[in-house]
Amino acid sequence: MERSFALRGDIFFTPQYDKKTSCPSSWLVVIDGRVEGIYEKLPGRYSGLDKYDYSGRLIIPGLTDLHIHASQYQFRGLWMDEELLDWLNNHTFPQEAMYCDPSYAEKAYRIFVDDMLKSPTTRSCIFATIHKDSSLLLCRQLEESGLISYVGKVSMDRNSPDILIEDTAEAIKSEEEYIKQVRSSFSRVYPIVTPRFIPSCSDRLSMALGELAVKYDIPLQSHLSENPGELDWVSELMPSSSSYADAYDKLGLWGRVRTIMAHCVYSYGREEELLENSNIYIAHCPDSNTNLSSGMMGARYYLERGCNIALATDVAGGASLSMFRAICDAVRISKLRWRHVDQDLKPLDFTSAFYMASKAGGSFFGSAGSFEPGCDADILVLDDSRLPTMLDGLTVAERVERYIYLNPDGSVLHKAVQGEWLF
Ligand code: GUN
Ligand code: FE
């Protein structure tokens, strides 16, 4: 049977944000790309399956990056001393404009996809640029990689340089063509409607995009309450709205379909709408929030209230596409926030940050990011023996934590998506 096997090793996953499961020296059984179960001894009925013995290695679920800009990967690690709006105008927009040339896009996206393939990420929700043909080239490369992705052609028709803007009618038309082409051409890459943020989209464009998402029943992604300068600008643009979230709601973009809102740093205590609409996923981007001096997000508040909150890199606001790094950064920021801002909100611990990077993000795609029966078998095999220590008797959970903290670049020994081995 294709995509069916039994895999032995030290297994770890987090079925809830406050619950971790460790299965030392156990068998993970995968049938038809889905997790069947975990067993200390392999039951006789599975004896005919292909077997992979990774005794002594760690086995964890593949991770989801819920918000990343593929078109910003070339300038990762550069120009980190400006805040969001200057960073966008001075660097990001001119860089994204280069993707009007499909041959540039082809080469740049190749670098991105090659690195994404090697990383701990199995699924991601991606911003491309306004350019339809270049965005389709990215979709093609991702499809061939075996990774599973939502890719958005970015929509922008105002407050941006002429080189990175579309006429409103053209933006609506090309978005609809893009949706149809992605749907008919790919099986692992899906379209996602992508209004960049309120300052970049006229009311007419925003409203049309909301209608397209509903018409084709596809999800939507954007940015919300990231940086103080952005918040001021949005309230100038939409003076009748009571909050940034309310502005999206007035434009028909609030949670009518499954929706990712990146950042939400300034939503805490203001945008209760986030707590109320179960279609909204918060993408917490700790590295980006630090680099662009955006702020310290109160992630645990949303976790404890049952919101969908997951982790993301937001490259190139974040410098690294490693979700291992995002896990560590989320814990670190939450501790600084607890110490310096609000001692009533406890920091994240490793388990809750791992949960956000695995099962919470995976749930945007259905059931991925966990090893409970029925979940898609997205698997990472890690070799922690290459990080010597005199300590012995570490638990599986401690070894996973240590591996992730000591491997910010995210090296992975083997990787499978829906039971298909990519390497
Ligand atoms: N808000 C609007 N566009 C962007 C972007 O490209 N990156 C980040 N971090 N925030 C944004
Ligand atoms: Fe972003």
pLDDT tens sequence across 227-272: 999 999 999 999 999 999 999 999 999 999 999 999 999 998 889 8
Q: What's the whole-number average pLDDT of the chain? A: 97
Proximal ligand: closest to the CA of 261: 2
Q: 67 or 410, which is more confident?
A: 67
Q: What is residue 340's predicted lDDT score, i.e. its pLDDT?
A: 97
Question: Which residues span the domain enclosing 377?
Answer: 5-62+370-421
- Residue 288, SS3 per DSSP: helix
Q: What is residue 319's predicted lDDT score, i.e. its pLDDT?
A: 97
Q: What is residue 112's predicted lDDT score, i.e. its pLDDT?
A: 98
Q: What is residue 294's predicted lDDT score, i.e. its pLDDT?
A: 98
Proximal ligand: closest to the CA of 196: 1
Task: Say whether both 203 and 310 belong to one domain.
Answer: yes
Model confidence at 382, pLDDT cuts 50, 70, 90, reads very high
Task: Say whether both 242 and 198 belong to one domain.
Answer: yes
Q: What is residue 268's predicted lDDT score, i.e. its pLDDT?
A: 87
Assess whether pLDDT exceeds 90 at residue 2: no
Assess whether pLDDT exceeds 80 at residue 399: yes
CA 247 to CA 224: how far, in whole Å?
10
Task: Name the residue of 67, 68, 69, 200 to mutate for ligand 1: max ligand atoms within 8 A of Cβ.
Answer: 69
CATH number at residue 174: 3.20.20.140
| CA 132 to centroid of ligand 1, rounded, Å | 19
Model confidence at 408, pLDDT cuts 50, 70, 90, reads confident
Per 3-state DSSP, what percentage of the chain is helix, strand, and coil (rounded to 5)? 40, 25, 35
Interval 282-319: pLDDT, tens: 999 999 999 999 999 999 999 999 999 999 999 999 99
Task: Say whether both 315 and 325 belong to one domain.
Answer: yes
Task: Say whether both 263 and 402 belong to one domain.
Answer: no
**What is the total residue count of the chain?**
423
Task: Say whether both 68 and 175 belong to one domain.
Answer: yes
Task: Say whether both 360 and 411 belong to one domain.
Answer: no
Q: What is residue 235's predicted lDDT score, i.e. its pLDDT?
A: 96
Task: Say whether both 277 and 392 belong to one domain.
Answer: no
Query: How many structural domains is the chain composed of?
Result: 2
End-to-end CA distance of the chain: 19
Q: What is residue 272's predicted lDDT score, i.e. its pLDDT?
A: 87
Please, which residues have CB less than 5 A from ligand 2, an ion?
Answer: 262, 314
Task: Say whether both 353 and 379 belong to one domain.
Answer: no
Interval 211-220: pLDDT, tens: 999 999 999 9
Task: Say whether both 98 and 10 belong to one domain.
Answer: no
Q: What is residue 79's predicted lDDT score, i.e. its pLDDT?
A: 96
Q: What is residue 354's predicted lDDT score, i.e. its pLDDT?
A: 99
CATH number at residue 26: 2.30.40.10
| CA 68 to centroid of ligand 2, rounded, Å | 6
Q: Hunting for tokens 């009571």 — which residue is that?
A: 242
Interval 4-50: pLDDT, tens: 999 999 999 999 999 999 999 999 999 999 999 999 999 999 999 99
Q: What is the mean pLDDT of residues 160-179?
A: 97
| CA 373 to centroid of ligand 1, rounded, Å | 37
Residues ≥6 apart with Cβ < 8 Å to 314: 67, 68, 69, 262, 263, 283, 285, 287, 288
Which numbered atom of ligand 1 lies nearest the CA of 288?
9
Q: What is the mean pLDDT of residues 84-110?
A: 98
Task: Say whether both 36 and 116 belong to one domain.
Answer: no
| Residues 144, 106 contacting (CB under 8 angstroms) | no
Using DSSP bridges, classify how beta strands 19-31 and 5-16 pair: parallel, antiparallel or unpaired. antiparallel
Name every protein residue with a CB atom under 6 angstroms from any ligand 1 atom. 69, 84, 88, 92, 196-197, 223, 226, 288, 314, 317
Q: What is residue 403's predicted lDDT score, i.e. its pLDDT?
A: 98
Assess whether pLDDT exceeds 80 at residue 1: no
Model confidence at 275, pLDDT cuts 50, 70, 90, reads confident
Task: Say whether both 56 and 157 belong to one domain.
Answer: no
Task: Say whether both 142 and 174 belong to one domain.
Answer: yes
Task: Name the residue of 72, 96, 223, 314 to mutate for ligand 1: max ligand atoms within 8 A of Cβ.
Answer: 223
| CA 314 to centroid of ligand 2, rounded, Å | 5
Burial of 391 (0-12, 13-18, 19+ CB in 10 A): exposed
